[in-house]
Amino acid sequence: MSTIIGHTKQRKELCELAQTDKLPSALIFSGLNGIGKNLVARELARQLLCDVRGESPQGGCGTCRSCRLFETGTHPDIHNLQFGGEEGATVDDVRTTLEKMSLKPFMGGKKIAIFNDADEISIVGANTILKSLEEPRPDTYFILVLSNPSRLPTTILSRCQRFFFDRLTADEIREIIALKGIKEISEALTLLADGSAASLDSLQAQSEMWEDVRNVVERAWMGDQPCIARAAQEWGAAKTQLKERLAFLRTTIRQRLLATRTDPNAVAVWGVALQNALDAEYLTLERHVNPTLVILKTLQSCDNSLASTYRITPRSRPSLGEMLLDGR
Ligand SMILES: [Zn+2]
């Protein structure tokens, strides 16, 4: 079970409702994307399914048969549907799940369906769900996890009890980053998450990209030309990540500029490199210039051994944009 950071109040309330058998059968968890609503839904589901009778502990006992099946993703009485995205659940998927939900629980306890990104559900899908929400079987629970309740028909909203989840605080995000084993918690990374937008998994992927960019910039500073060439090839080819990677590159270079501002040689290098990184974003994203070439030039300008070339009048050097667009 993933550790959940934050949302203490909502989790306590849900836990008590489950323990006292007062939990409504249709729930909406709403709040920004990526703050852990689905984790809370799973925590609640595991508690509801746990074999411990009476006051089952928050998130379940973790050791009974039910909890173990839940952890391995093989519990027969929990159903997850993911809406939205290209692989999003179809109306047929909804019907299949509702049919399963209408059967008696296999394990003799409760049945739970978690609908993720439920605000992406189609009108037909919503109407299909509506019937089950109106006439729920005993001991069945529907948890609709979403960010934008206004996209759901009011007929559904009125059938569900809503729980609101707040954006995470900067401290909570730091805690999550620490838990996920990401080294050197970067202020920039925390800002990137902004208490909301990035899901934690994408935060993890971003942190790997972040590390990669920082390593390459460090190698570039030391004049590692093979590393520069390799990175330019790889980054230039990974088109879907280009925008993000170039933003990391710019931020990394800016951080280096700030960190070395008492060293005029370094300032000269990073100053030019930063201008190039800004140009690189414009050239590749707006003007569709070959990204490999642009990244190569930008990384080459991070090379410390070239510092003396630009030390005196770094501003007089043409920008990357001027060089590439004018064919110089
Ligand atoms: Zn248990």
Q: How far apart are CA 320 and CA 301, in angstroms?
A: 10
Q: Ligand 1 mean position to 326 CA, how many Å?
A: 68
Range among 200-214, 259-273, 292-306 with highest mean pLDDT value: 292-306
**Sequence ranges of the domains in the chain:** 8-166, 199-325
Q: With 50 as the cut, is the pLDDT of residue 100 above it?
A: yes
Fold assignment, 8-166: Rossmann fold (3.40.50)
Determine the pLDDT at residue 290.
93
CA of 49 to the centre of ligand 1 (A): 7
* pLDDT, position 260: 82
User: What does pTM read for this prediction?
Assistant: 0.59
- Dist CA 141 CA 122 (whole Å): 21
| Spacing, Cα 63 to ligand 1 middle (Å) | 5
Phi, psi of 196 (to 5 degrees): -170, -75
pLDDT in the model for residue 98: 95
Residue 66 CA to ligand 1 center (angstroms) comes to: 6
For the segment 137-155, what is each residue's pLDDT rounded down to a tens digit? 889 999 999 988 888 999 9
Measured distance CA(14)–CA(141) in Å, rounded: 13
In CATH, the number for domain 199-325 is 1.20.120
Confidence at residue 309, expressed as pLDDT on a 0 to 100 scale:
55
Place 326 in a pLDDT band, splitting at 50, 70 and 90. low
Ligand 1 centroid distance, CA of 69 (Å): 10
Check residue 195 and give its pLDDT: 53
- Expressed in angstroms and rounded, the spacing between residue 60 Cα and the centre of ligand 1 is 5
The most distant pair of C-alpha atoms in the chain lies apart, rounded to whole Å, by 80
Ligand 1 center from residue 114 Cα (angstroms): 19
What value does the mean pLDDT take over residues 219-235?
A: 94
Residue 71 CA, ligand 1 centroid: distance in Å: 10
pLDDT of residue 312: 43
Of the ranges 33-42, 48-57, 88-97, 176-185, the best mean pLDDT one: 88-97
Higher pLDDT, 188 or 231: 231
Cα-to-centroid distance, 10 and ligand 1 (Å): 21
Whole-number average pLDDT of the chain: 85
Query: For residue 52, how far is its CA from the centre of ligand 1 (angstroms)?
Result: 6
75 CA → ligand 1 middle, Å: 12
Contacts of 228 (CB under 8 A, 6+ apart): 216, 219, 220, 296, 299, 300, 303
Which pLDDT belongs to residue 327? 52
Q: Per-residue pLDDT for 68 more than 90? A: yes
Is the distance from CB of 166 to CB of 31 less than 8 angstroms? Answer: yes
Q: What is the pLDDT of residue 157?
A: 92
Distance between Cα 98 and ligand 1 center (Å): 25
The mean pLDDT value for 32-56 works out to 89
259 C-alpha vs ligand 1 centroid, how far in Å?
A: 51
Share of the chain above pLDDT 90, in %: 52
